[in-house]
Structure 1
Amino acid sequence: MSSNRVVADSALTALAPAIWGSTYLVTTEFLPPDRPLLAGMIRALPAGLVLLVLGRTLPKGIWWGRALVLGVLNIGAFFYLLFVAAYHLPGGVAALVMSIQPMLVLMLSALLLKDKVKPVHVAACVLGAAGVGLLVLQPNAGLDAVGVGAGLLGAVSMASGIVLTKRWGRPEGVGLLTFTGWQLTVGGLVLLPITLVGEGLPDRLTGENLGGFAYLGLIGALFAYAVWFRGVERLPALAVSFLSFSSPLAATLLGWFVLDQSLSPLQLAGALTVVAAVVLAQPRPARRKAPQAEPESGPQAKEPVRA
């Protein structure tokens, strides 16, 4: 894989978690209050059904079970826990809690994918966690036990989904959008009855609510997950997980641009540290060794100089 190809794949894949970083802002500013199940279900199910209709292909054999597992880990459970964290924590802090994901992927990749843990990976984990800490942990940062717990469980769910997606791959002959549609549909269907029983439907939805749901479904789910699973296929699992650091970066920058939140010098240093960690963890193409010249032979070969 060429260096240009790696950079392009990494940059495109990083769009997905950057978009997910906007989830915290959209949740607090546009969605109905205290509706994490409804938010997760509406974000997943409509987009999944659209892709399912377009693909017109259902799972077969063992892929029914795999689609269920991946749909719950990558979509259903993750969406619910993500919105719980978004409702209970400031955006940057919620993203910080979930930034343990690369460390979890590091361990799971070693166990399930037999990936070799390199010192550069450990260094990138430490560097990324430190950078996110500088980025979002301020003296006035609000911490809530429910939000922190949901963020940690969300990180476990997504990390498990990344590694299993990498291990199982994609069924032969099934397109990327169809594969994405399976998981979004499964995640939404799992959340649907729980939403109806646990939260019910709101009495009314405002134009802002509908706009927020439309953004999360079309951009935050349909587009972002298609890009994300494309990256999971093409890049190492650990490299993909490090791209999730762009989520707290995006959440903090959106707070700065949209909510007029100030950025301190420490936060700017944290942002640069996060970028450095992401770059450090990305794969680099192996350098091709220059072909060695064959030793001369025959009558024109020079005799070695003797002392």
Structure 2
Amino acid sequence: MVLSKARKQSVMLMIGSALLWSIAGALIKLLPWNPFIISGFRSLLAAGVMFLYIRHVGIKIRVNRYSILSCLTLCGLMFSFVAANKLTTAANAIVLEYSAPAFIVVFSALIFKQRFHPADVLAVAGTMFGIALFFLDRLTAGGLLGSCIALFSGVLMALNFIVSARADTDTRMSGILFAHLATAVIGAPVIFFDPPAFSAQSLTAILILGIFQLGVPYVLYGLALKNCPPLACSLIGTLEPLLNPIWVYLFYGEAPGRYALFGGALVLISITGWCVWRDRYVAAHSGI
């Protein structure tokens, strides 16, 4: 199938978004600050980028239950992701977060009474088995806590997706802006209680994290959604968990354990396979 020019541009925007998201682990590892401070200032900078984008495209700020729920889940997700990166390996943090689609299936069945398809069961089972492998590595107490927090971030991401799917564009973007502002308000003041060491490296890292790793990718993602097919967005998004540990290894020298590698591969294969199947299943049953 030949892609139109608009669709090609959207695919490239999604690739750019995933590439920028993937640098989070390396920068967080290199930044010797309290996780709350990192999260707070990263989101403060990202909020500025998001606000400029929202004003430029004319998105209206919406305050309703969906934007508030999106704010709460995304705020918790950003704190938990940074904390997990500090406590466990970047591979554990990003792949366990990427287990979100499996939790979406489970929550959809429990909350909205949607029926499981056998393929859903296989995807969830494969993902959960892959997650279990992460905990077979020889983890320190901190590493175990980090993996648990990373898994919790996957739960929050799933809840955020469920909420966002039921919101319009204005509400969805408002929720993201509110989440960044809430994270900044909660995290940034910690700087007065745990003053960090400032250096050219740390200031550069936080600027890149806030503007280019978090702020700009959300703008690119919002633009990509206009013409990038959902399946393409899902599959291109796997670049983030694949590249994140690579950047950390290259710039920080951290390598995941053997069981984590096997578990991560199983999670990515299960989720990617489920995305491909689901896209074809929906197309076949909707007459597309």
Task: Normalising by structure 1, report the TM-score.
Answer: 0.68
Q: CA deviation at 1:124?
A: 2.6
Q: 1:103 to 1:264 in 2, by over 3 A?
A: closer
Q: CA deviation at 1:67?
A: 2.4
1:66 is matched by which residue type in structure 2? Y
Q: Determine the structure 2 residue equivalent to 1:192.
A: 184
Structure with the higher fraction of residues in helix conformation:
2
CA contact (8 A) 1:82 1:151 kept: yes
Q: Distance in 1 between matches of 2:224 and 2:131?
A: 22
1:147 is matched by which residue type in structure 2? G
Gaps of 5+ in 2: none
> Mapping of 1:93-242 within 5 angstroms?
93-111=92-110, 116-130=115-129, 139-142=137-140, 144=142, 145-171=144-170, 180=173, 182-200=174-192, 202=195, 204-228=197-221
Aligned match for 1:286, one of 272, 283, 288: 283
- Bigger CA radius of gyration: 1
Q: Determine the structure 2 residue equivalent to 1:79.
A: 78
Q: Determine the structure 2 residue equivalent to 1:28.
A: 29
Q: Determine the structure 2 residue equivalent to 1:301.
A: none
Q: Determine the structure 2 residue equivalent to 1:258.
A: 251
Q: Distance in 2 between matches of 1:242 and 1:132?
A: 20
Q: 1:231 to 1:71 in 2, by over 3 A?
A: farther
Q: Distance in 1 between matches of 2:263 and 2:215?
A: 30
Q: Deviations over 1:181-208 (max 9, x none)?
A: x334322322334335544273652111
Q: Distance in 1 between matches of 2:79 and 2:183?
A: 8
Q: Distance in 2 between matches of 1:265 and 1:82?
A: 22
Q: Deviations over 1:54-113 (max 9, x none)?
A: 43357466x344323212312x22111111111111212223443442221112233556
Q: 1:266 to 1:104 in 2, by over 3 A?
A: closer
Q: 1:166 to 1:184 in 2, by over 3 A?
A: closer
Question: Whose RCO is larger (CA < 8 A, sep 6+)?
Answer: 2
CA contact (8 A) 2:120 2:274 kept: yes
Gaps of 5+ in 1: 291-307
Q: Determine the structure 2 residue equivalent to 1:53.
A: 52
Range that drifts further, 87-96 or 200-209: 200-209
Q: Distance in 2 between matches of 1:151 and 1:265?
A: 18
Q: Distance in 2 between matches of 1:203 and 1:267?
A: 31
Q: Distance in 1 between matches of 2:249 and 2:236?
A: 21
1:28 is matched by which residue type in structure 2? K
Q: 1:231 to 1:120 in 2, by over 3 A?
A: farther
SS at match of 1:117: coil
Q: Distance in 2 between matches of 1:157 and 1:11?
A: 27
Q: CA-atom RMSD, angstroms?
A: 4.2
Q: Distance in 2 between matches of 1:83 and 1:264?
A: 20
Q: How many residues align?
A: 274
CA contact (8 A) 1:242 1:278 kept: no
Task: Normalising by structure 2, report the TM-score.
Answer: 0.72
CA contact (8 A) 2:69 2:163 kept: no
CA contact (8 A) 2:66 2:164 kept: no
Q: Distance in 1 between matches of 2:100 and 2:205?
A: 26
Q: 1:169 to 1:52 in 2, by over 3 A?
A: same
Q: Distance in 2 between matches of 1:232 and 1:115?
A: 25
Q: Distance in 1 between matches of 2:137 and 2:157?
A: 29
